[in-house]
Amino acid sequence: MTYDAIAIGAGLSGCSAAIQLAKRGYRVLLLEQSHYPIHKLCGEFLSIEVTEAFENLGILAQVHKVGAHPIHRAYLTTAGGASFRSDLPSTALGLSRYQLDLMLFQRAQELNVDCQDNTKVVSVVGNLQEGFIVNTSKGDFTGRLVLGAFGKRSPLDRALNREFIQKKSPWVAYKGHFTGVDIDDVIELHSFPNGYCGLSQIETGEINVCWIAHERVMKEATYKDLGVPESLAKNPVLADRFHNMKRVSTSLQGLSQITFALKENFHNDICMIGDTAGMIAPLCGDGMAMALRSAEIVVPFVSQFLDNQLSAIAFKQEYVNAWRKEFQTRLQLGRMIHNCFVQPPLADMGVNLCQMFPNLGNWIIGATRGKPNN
Ligand X SMILES: Cc1cc2nc3c(=O)[nH]c(=O)nc-3n(C[C@H](O)[C@H](O)[C@H](O)COP(=O)(O)OP(=O)(O)OC[C@H]3O[C@@H](n4cnc5c(N)ncnc54)[C@H](O)[C@@H]3O)c2cc1C
Q: Which residues bind ligand X (CB under 6 A)?
A: 8-14, 31-34, 41-45, 120-121, 149-152, 154, 156, 173, 210, 212, 258, 274-276, 279, 282, 285-289, 291
Helix or strand or coil: residue 79?
coil
Task: Give me the least distance between CB of 283 and ligand X, in Å please.
Answer: 8
Task: Give me the least distance between CB of 127 and ligand X, in Å please.
Answer: 20
Residue 189, C-beta contacts closer than 8 angstroms, at least 6 positions apart: 74, 75, 76, 77, 196, 197, 198, 283, 341
Residue 355 CA to residue 141 CA, distance in Å, equals 55
CB 275 within 8 A of CB 151: yes
By beta-carbon proximity to ligand X, the closer residue of 73 and 312 is: 73
Task: Give me the least distance between CB of 270 and ligand X, in Å please.
Answer: 12
By beta-carbon proximity to ligand X, the closer residue of 280 and 310 is: 280
Task: Give me the least distance between CB of 182 and ligand X, in Å please.
Answer: 19
By beta-carbon proximity to ligand X, the closer residue of 13 and 77 is: 13
Nearest alpha-carbon partner for 249 in 39, 97, 68: 39
By beta-carbon proximity to ligand X, the closer residue of 209 and 347 is: 209
- Measured from each CB, the residue nearest to ligand X is 11
By beta-carbon proximity to ligand X, the closer residue of 9 and 361 is: 9
Angle, helices 50-57 vs 12-23, to 10°: value is 40
Residue 272 CA to residue 146 CA, distance in Å, equals 9
CB 143 within 8 A of CB 4: yes
**Radius of gyration, CA atoms only, the chain:** 20
Task: Give me the least distance between CB of 359 and ligand X, in Å please.
Answer: 24
Rounded alpha-carbon distances, angstroms, from residue 331 to 23, 132, 235, 276: 30, 30, 27, 13
By beta-carbon proximity to ligand X, the closer residue of 79 and 173 is: 173
Task: Give me the least distance between CB of 311 and ligand X, in Å please.
Answer: 27
